[in-house]
Amino acid sequence: MSVADYAREHGLKRVGARPPLSEYLKMAWQRRDFAITMSVFANQAANSKNRLGKWWVILLPTIQGAVYGLIFGIIIGGDRPANFIPFLFTGVFLFSFIQSSVSTGATSVTSNLGLVRSLNFPRMLLPFSSVLRQFLNLLPQIGLLLVVLVLFQQNITFNWLLMVPLLALMAIFAFGLALISARLTVHIEDINKLIPFANRVMFYVSGIFFSVERVFGDYPILMQLMNFNPVYAFISTARGALVEGYSMSLNLWAVCASWAFGALIVGVWFFWKAEERYGRED
């Protein structure tokens, strides 16, 4: 009788074995309090060092938005999209959420090896906690965005409520990306170097400070491609819901939903597959 059979006969299970996906997700759900508390506390800890503390969560993107507005507003000049400030701020805030989710998600496992090597929990909670952290930072920014919108447009519409499902889809999308980048970074740390580059490219290409229709309008193929760009889809839909003069399209909603659930399914499966290998010293 092999040792494995002997163990099984006495009801012993293999330690560290990767549980089946349904059980894994159940375990992760049971430990969600740990992930949530980690996110909330990590934000508090980060803010505790700065004098302005949690105000930087709003200040930083506002300054970013203002700087981009000034520079690109001047460079593009007359070709500025209508309602430029609301247009710009929507894009900047939402993009920074996606970008920081991917960046912090990527290092969520590799920079927490102490945690991984001393405590037992589904490792999926680490990228989840990263994305949740960024989402908690996004909420006051959305608040500020709504204030800016009211100031510039003096108009609140029911379409604003569509931001709730849209933000949910964005969070799901960001989580999927974080899971994928987390596992990739575990295998090849170099990926970490490429992520800021990919983020920059997405920033410049996705029509955050310029109107995609105006710039790519003459190139139908590029326009078609752009319709599949998830960042563009999310930001464009958000602008459609919030900013006067812009509309939403069902097409883009479909693109958002597909990317969100696609990334989630692929991310969860991809990350769970290597669950036994996290914490290995390579």
- The one-character DSSP state at 243 is S
Neighbours of 259 (CB within 10 A): 22
Q: Name the segment binding another protein (CB under 8 A); options: 82-90, 91-99, 112-120, 156-164.
A: 112-120
Size of the site for another protein (CB under 8 A): 39
CB count within 10 Å of CB 138 equals 24
Taking the least distance from each CB to another protein, the nearer of 54 and 64 is 54
- 3-state SS of 148-170 is HHHHHHCCCCHHHHHHHHHHHHH
3-state secondary structure 36-50: HHHHHHHHHHHHHCC
Answer for which of 21, 37, 67, 201 binds another protein (CB under 8 A) is: 37
Judged by CB under 8 A, which of 60, 66, 115, 162 binds another protein?
115
Among 26, 29, 44, 228, binds another protein (CB under 8 A): 44
Sole binder of another protein in the list 22, 77, 78, 118 (CB under 8 A): 118
Site for another protein in 148-207 (CB under 8 A): none
Stretch that binds another protein, among 35-43, 70-78, 149-157, 233-241 (CB under 8 A): 35-43
List C-alpha distances in Å: 106 to 31, 49, 166, 281: 21, 24, 23, 17
8 Å CB contact between 130 and 104? yes
Spatial separation of the C-alpha atoms in residues 28 and 76, rounded to whole Å? 48
Applying CB under 8 A, which of residues 22, 33, 155, 220 lies at the interface with another protein?
Answer: 33
> Which of 77, 78, 114, 220 touches another protein by CB under 8 A?
114
Site for another protein in 241-280 (CB under 8 A): 276-277, 279-280
CA torsion through residues 53, 31, 263, 253, sign: negative
Determine which residue in the list 22, 197, 218, 281 makes contact with another protein, applying CB under 8 A.
Answer: 281
Identify the residue among 20, 23, 26, 41 touching another protein (CB under 8 A).
41
17 and 276 Cβ atoms separated by less than 8 Å: yes
Task: In whole angstroms, give the CA distance from residue 244 to residue 156.
Answer: 10
Which residues bind to another protein, rule: CB under 8 A?
Answer: 3-4, 6-8, 10-16, 31, 33-34, 37-38, 41-42, 44-46, 48-49, 112, 114-121, 276-277, 279-282
